[in-house]
């Protein structure tokens, strides 16, 4: 709590509103099987996950790198009736093209030069359970054809064998590519695209769900407090402003890397701006304001702050949250733009 001059005169114990927003099983909506968020788009995604988890239908998770596609796949598997069955993950982009078919479907001895023994493929290992095909857009044309057969008929043949193997596997796929564009370019089969795209889930980039930033920052601070044992519980106003204004082209993964970087360099209980990566402090072109577009004049910034205050009925806590600032930072900007007196007059009128 602050007096009219901005001096601290007390404190209030508060609880996050997300704890009041619960799913039917009592789990806080801001944390859903390892996925953190309370924005409308994320809550909608949580609901879709719950609805489709126990289906056998194929799920295609779309989104930029670092948005949490694997976390969504994990949540679907955990909530399904196959949760205690095999769960096999394959990063299609990490396997050389020459080995991809063998890795997915297996081979028999002598199928190719280095095939010195039989090999069980990932689909056979996942029989009765779930397989997660990450970066499915990087599959080679032969592998695409074999995957199509598995999706259509539930069967495949190992390389070098004429024996047909039947499997019962739930397929969850993910990609950061625009698969439809790859189809138009002739680099991805259209029939496979339609088979994969039964239940599409598109994850928004972090820049489009900025209201989740405070939750994510605290989530990663808690994670690295636990991993490092460092009692770091706070972020300075300047550091917080930088974190809230950055564009995050690397999405949630980049935010986690930034917090890990800060923990590695911080020896006190507070993360200050000089402990953040240098590019956050120097690359002004990479920053966004929390309200969207960059403010290019003092008058525009004053108007923006005034508009947010009016929208939240001059409640500074809510206005600061909407702007992505700490309460102290909002107070300083209000003082800079002569808005404190108007705030006090508004408070007196309400009383």
Parallel, antiparallel, or unpaired for β 130-134 and 87-91?
parallel
Could you tell me which of 302, 296, 304, 227 has the C-alpha nearest to residue 259?
Answer: 227
What pLDDT score was predicted for residue 347? 53
* Amino acid 36: pLDDT: 94
DSSP one-letter code for 275: G
Give the CA distances from residue 183 to residues 149, 194, 237, 256, in Å, rounded to whole numbers and listed in that order.
Answer: 18, 10, 48, 33
Per-residue model confidence (pLDDT) at position 73? 98
106 close to 158: Cβ distance less than 8 angstroms: yes
Distance CA(210)–CA(216), nearest Å, equals: 10
Weakly modelled stretches of the chain, pLDDT under 70: 1-29, 110-111, 113, 283-300, 324, 326, 342-351
Q: What is the pLDDT of residue 299?
A: 66
207-288 to CATH, choices 3.40.50.970, 3.40.50.2300, 1.10.8.60, 3.30.870.10: 1.10.8.60
Distances (CA, A) of 252 to 30, 41, 170, 201, 213: 15, 15, 27, 17, 9
pLDDT tens digits along 20-34: 344 444 444 478 999
> By the 8 A CB rule, do 212 and 246 touch?
no
For the chain, list the strands marked E by DSSP: 31-32, 35-36, 59-62, 87-91, 130-134, 155-157, 164-166, 170-175, 199-202, 234-235, 270-271
pLDDT digits (tens, 9 = 90+) for 285-302: 344 444 443 344 456 677
Q: Answer yes or no: are the C-beta atoms of 60 and 177 closer than 8 Å.
A: no
* Residue 307 CB neighbours (<10 A): 12
Reduced DSSP (H G I as helix, E B as strand, rest coil) percent helix, strand, coil of the chain, to 5: 50, 15, 35
pLDDT of residue 216: 95
Instruction: Give me the residue spans of the domains in the chain.
Output: 56-204, 207-288, 295-351
In CATH terms, the fold of domain 56-204 is Rossmann fold (3.40.50)
């Amino acid at each position: 709590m602050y007096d009219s001059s901005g001096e601290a005169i007390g404190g209030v114990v508060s609880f996050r509103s997300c704890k009041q927003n619960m799913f039917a099983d009592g789990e806080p909506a801001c944390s859903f099987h390892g996925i953190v968020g309370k924005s409308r788009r994320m809550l909608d995604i949580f609901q879709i996950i719950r609805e489709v988890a126990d289906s056998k239908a194929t799920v295609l998770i779309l989104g930029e790198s670092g948005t949490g596609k694997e976390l969504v796949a994990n949540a679907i598997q955990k909530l399904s009736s196959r949760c205690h069955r095999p769960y096999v993950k394959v990063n299609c982009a990490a396997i050389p093209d020459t080995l991809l078919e063998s890795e997915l479907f297996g081979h028999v001895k002598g199928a190719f030069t280095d095939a010195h023994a039989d090999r069980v493929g990932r689909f056979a290992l996942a029989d009765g359970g779930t397989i997660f095909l990450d970066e499915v857009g990087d599959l080679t044309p032969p592998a695409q054809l074999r995957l199509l057969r598995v999706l259509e008929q539930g069967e495949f043949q190992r390389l070098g064998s004429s024996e047909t193997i039947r499997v019962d596997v739930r397929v969850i796929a993910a990609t950061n590519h625009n698969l439809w564009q790859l189809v138009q370019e002739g680099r991805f089969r259209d029939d496979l695209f339609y088979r994969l795209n039964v239940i599409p889930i598109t994850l928004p980039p972090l820049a489009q769900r900025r209201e989740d930033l405070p939750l994510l920052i605290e989530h990663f601070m808690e994670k690295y407090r636990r991993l490092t044992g460092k009692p770091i519980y706070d972020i300075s106003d300047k550091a917080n402003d930088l974190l809230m204004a950055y564009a995050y082209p690397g999405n949630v993964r980049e935010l986690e890397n930034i917090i890990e970087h800060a923990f590695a360099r911080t020896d006190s209980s507070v993360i200050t701006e000089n402990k953040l990566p240098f590019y956050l402090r120097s690359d002004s072109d990479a920053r966004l304001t929390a309200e969207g577009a960059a403010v290019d004049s003092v008058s525009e910034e004053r108007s923006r702050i005034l508009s947010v205050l009016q929208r939240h009925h001059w409640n500074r806590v809510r206005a600061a949250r909407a702007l992505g600032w700490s309460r102290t930072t909002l107070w300083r900007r209000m003082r800079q733009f002569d808005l404190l007196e108007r705030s006090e007059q508004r408070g007196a009128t309400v009383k």
